[in-house]
Structure 1
Amino acid sequence: MFLTGCWLGEDFQPVLSQRAKWVMNRRADGTFSITFIPEDGPVQREEGTWSQHGKSYTTVTTTIDGRPVDVQDPIFTDTYDTRWLDNDVMESHHKKANMVFKSRKMPCDGGDGGDG
């Protein structure tokens, strides 16, 4: 699966109300971890599950900074349409936020917050 692995991006993050870098690790077992590194403020780590449906994928956040969240709350479910994907670059459209995010594939070496 092209979507698995570690992906690095940087853009405005609505959940943080500011620009941030992120490292997303989507694993083949259907789990993910993402670390947000904002320009100003504390690092935030989320974990959960993900699934792919054709050109779309959905993430369901189950914990933020190690604390469980209410997975029934729709704020913790995000669906993206993949607009561009190759071995190194991905562009996804976040449906709820109506934003496009770009990310680049990177090694999952464990030192980047991606749980390599």
Structure 2
Amino acid sequence: MNRDPLLKVYGHVYPVSDAFYADLEAACTGAMPDDTDESVLCREGDMARFSFEGVYFPVDETLEVLNRHLRPEHQGKLDVLDLENWRLIRHVFEQGRIRTSSAPLNNVLDYAGH
């Protein structure tokens, strides 16, 4: 039985060291994607990229790792689309901090021209 994912999580952070990436991998091990063939986290040069669609993603654990490793030179974001509650939660990484905002998905889709 194929069912629609409850969460979609997309994002990236760079530059990441080997230790930073290993900690992100450990944080993401509890993810329960719909399609197990796809990797939740991948590395592209010095960038870690998140791509997830499924039932559960360990957002809090991932943000804890990011909080431990983020420095002023890091940039990126983590978008969490909560399809059950119809909200986008965006975590932006800049200046060594995480800035979080939230909006209804209808507002996001209207703004994006969809």
- How does the TM-score come out when normalised to structure 1? 0.33
Return the structure number with greater strand share.
1
Return the structure number with greater helix share.
2
- How does the TM-score come out when normalised to structure 2? 0.33
Report which of the two structures shows the higher radius of gyration computed on alpha carbons.
Answer: 2
Higher RCO (C-alpha under 8 Å, 6+ residues apart): 2
